Structure 1
Amino acid sequence: MTTDTPKVSSERQHQILRRALADRVVKIKDLSAELGVHEMTVRRDIDQLAEQGLLERIHGGARIVEKTSEEVAHQLRATKNTEAKEAIARAALNLIEDGDVVALDASTTALALARLLHARNVSAIVSGLDAANVLAANGVPFLMVGGNFHAPARSFVGAFFMDTMTRLHPDKVFFSAKAFSPDTGFTDPHLPEVGAKQTLIRSAGTVIALLDSTKFERRALATIATLDEVDVLITDQTPSERTLSALEAADIQLTMTQETP
């Protein structure tokens, strides 16, 4: 299985797309000043993005192509904090044993773990198209749970998904969230994803949260899981003392891929 999502070639082009997603329309002169490059450089970047169908040229600038904006947003999320996500995925793999049935949410951190699963003799349950593509390409047996397609996360959600997951019992569930704080737990702004993640978490024998440190001490709209619903938290840096105390009180095993000085 393959995906035809366009590939963005440079960090500068990612920045242009981020601005276009936020503002809908971007001006070459503004981007030139913001990025510290010549207007001709920005124009070439816009031309390349337009050739891929990601932007539409307009006089003096460009605007996001509406029909691809969700896919672009997903691609940009997938390229954010990639080193931390890959380190977290490697640590998560150490918790997986041959013979396990593992379930992965549709987060980009869980996707990084999906890329490593061929190193274990396991089977998987997934709700995300990208994870399914990776597992299929690597020969990892998996069950894809369907439902209503949620384009921003390229995942399946809704009543059908949740009903099916209540009948499945994976050994370990790996999930991520947009934010975490001791007060609100693990939270996410996308309500369809919240319901799917909650059902995934409640199906599991062991629940493992995969969270890079940029998401700590923040909160989003809805709670996915409270601290007492999570067994292990894997992150890339040491959390604050307040968070450490809350994790210890909740008896959550903390694994860090990098110690802060």
Structure 2
Amino acid sequence: MTSDTPKLGSDRQHQILRRALAERVVRIKDLAADLGVHEMTVRRDLDQLAEQGYLERVHGGARLLEKTSEELAHQLRATKNTEAKEAMAQAALGLIQDGDVVALDASTTALALARILHARKVSAIVSGLDAANVLAQNGVPFLMVGGNFHAPARSFVGAFFLDTIARLHPDKVFFSAKAFSPEIGFTDPHLPEVGAKQALIRSASTVVALLDASKFARRALATIATLDQVDTLVTDADPPKDIRATLDAADLQLIIARATP
């Protein structure tokens, strides 16, 4: 299985695309001033992004192509905090033993774990297309749980997914969230993904949350899991003192996986 998705270019082009996602239309003059580069540099970036099918060039700038916006948002999430995700994935791998059946949600953090899962003799359960692609390339046996396709996360959700995952019982599930606060737990704004993550958590013997420290003391629309539903939290930096105290009181294992400088 291979992906036909174009690879994103430089960090500057990432910034341009994030701006386009927010504003839909970007202007060369504004981008040059904000990025501190010559207008000709911005023109070249816009031309390259247009060639890759992300933007449409218009007079004085470019417009985001609607058909690519969801795919683009997913790719930009995958390229954010990559060092932290890789460090957390390595720490998570240390929690996995040969022979385990491991379930992964469709987050880009769990995808980082999928990329190195071949280091263990395991099988996996996945709901995301990208994780399935990686596992297939690396020769890791896996079961893909289908359902309604949810384009923003490139995953499967819905009634069919929920019914199927309820019949499966992995040893360990690894999931991520958009936010965490002690009062309401791990949260996410996308309701279809919330339901899928909840079902994965209910199915497993051991539940591991993968959450970079930027998401502490924040909240999103819906709760995925409360602290009493999670066994281990893997993060990339020390939580704030009040959150650390809450985690300790909950008797939750905390693993801090710092990215290598």
TM-score range, shorter chain: over 0.9
Deviation at 1:38, TM superposition (A): 0.5
Which runs of structure 2 are paired with 1:197-236 in the superposition (5 Å)? 197-236=197-236
Residue 50 of structure 1 is matched in structure 2 by 50
Residue 244 of structure 1 is matched in structure 2 by 244
More displaced 10-residue stretch of structure 1: 248-257 or 79-88: 248-257
- The one-letter code of the counterpart of 2:13 is Q
SS in structure 2 at match of 1:50? helix
Which runs of structure 2 are paired with 1:119-198 in the superposition (5 Å)? 119-198=119-198
Q: Over residues 211-254 of structure 1, what are the superposed CA-to-partner deviations in whole Å (9 max), with x where a residue is unaligned?
A: 01111110000000001000000001010111111111211100
SS in structure 1 at match of 2:170? coil
Q: Contact conserved, 2:100 with 2:171, CA < 8 A, in 1? A: yes
Q: Contact conserved, 1:238 with 1:258, CA < 8 A, in 2? A: no
CA distance in 1, matches of 2:8, 2:197: 29
Q: Over residues 5-60 of structure 1, what are the superposed CA-to-partner deviations in whole Å (9 max), with x where a residue is unaligned?
A: 11111000000000000000000000011100000000000000000110000000
State the superposition RMSD in angstroms: 0.8
Show structure 2 runs of 5+ residues with no match. Answer: none
> Is residue 21 from structure 1 mapped to residue 42 from structure 2 by the alignment?
no
TM, length-normalised to structure 1: 0.98
CA distance in 2, matches of 1:250, 1:159: 32
Give the ranges of 4+ consecutive aligned residues of structure 1 lying more than 3 Å apart after TM superposition.
Answer: none
CA distance in 1, matches of 2:211, 2:16: 26
Q: Contact conserved, 1:98 with 1:121, CA < 8 A, in 2? A: yes
SS in structure 2 at match of 1:208? strand
> Is residue 41 from structure 1 mapped to residue 23 from structure 2 by the alignment?
no
Q: Contact conserved, 2:84 with 2:258, CA < 8 A, in 1? A: no
Deviation at 1:140, TM superposition (A): 0.2
- The one-letter code of the counterpart of 1:207 is V
Q: Over residues 166-214 of structure 1, what are the superposed CA-to-partner deviations in whole Å (9 max), with x where a residue is unaligned?
A: 1000000000000011111000000000000000001000000000111
> Is residue 106 from structure 1 mapped to residue 110 from structure 2 by the alignment?
no
Residue 69 of structure 2 is matched in structure 1 by 69
CA distance in 2, matches of 1:167, 1:20: 42
CA distance in 2, matches of 1:226, 1:26: 41
Q: Over residues 74-101 of structure 1, what are the superposed CA-to-partner deviations in whole Å (9 max), with x where a residue is unaligned?
A: 0000000000000000000000000000
CA distance in 1, matches of 2:4, 2:151: 14
Deviation at 1:70, TM superposition (A): 0.6
